[in-house]
Amino acid sequence: MPIPGFVEYKRREFCRDVKCPIQLKLDSLEEGSEEYEKVRQICRTNCKYTAWQFHHWLIEKGFLIVKPKK
């Protein structure tokens, strides 16, 4: 759910910005194809970047991590 006045993180924005070689390969393949899914599995199980790197990238790019009140 978007917050008025803010933009949401776009899927794989970090990967594209850091020019992840796996993401570059995915961008050259047809989404949903067998080869695409095979390469995508690398992202799921063996990402080349850490949560720390991703978190600090978010901060550097001005993203906020928010959680709705309960």
What does 12-55 look like in DSSP terms, one character per residue?
THHHHHTT-HHHHHHHTS-TTSHHHHHHHHHHHH--SS-HHHHH
60 pLDDT above the threshold of 90: yes
Domain with 53 in it: 13-60
Q: Is 45 domain-assigned?
A: yes
End-to-end CA distance of the chain: 15
Domain-located, residue 6: no
Whether this model's pTM surpasses 0.75: yes
Residue 54 placed within a domain: yes
In total, how many domains does the chain have?
1
User: Does any domain span residue 27?
Assistant: yes
What pLDDT shows up at residue 46? Answer: 94
In a domain, 1, yes or no: no
Tens of pLDDT, residue by residue over 4-52, are 998 899 999 999 999 999 999 999 999 999 999 999 999 999 999 999 9
> Would residue 4 count as lying in a domain?
no
* Residue 36 within a domain: yes
How far apart are the C-alpha atoms of 22 and 24, rounded to whole Å?
5
pLDDT tier for residue 3 given thresholds of 50, 70 and 90: confident
Q: Is residue 49 part of a domain?
A: yes
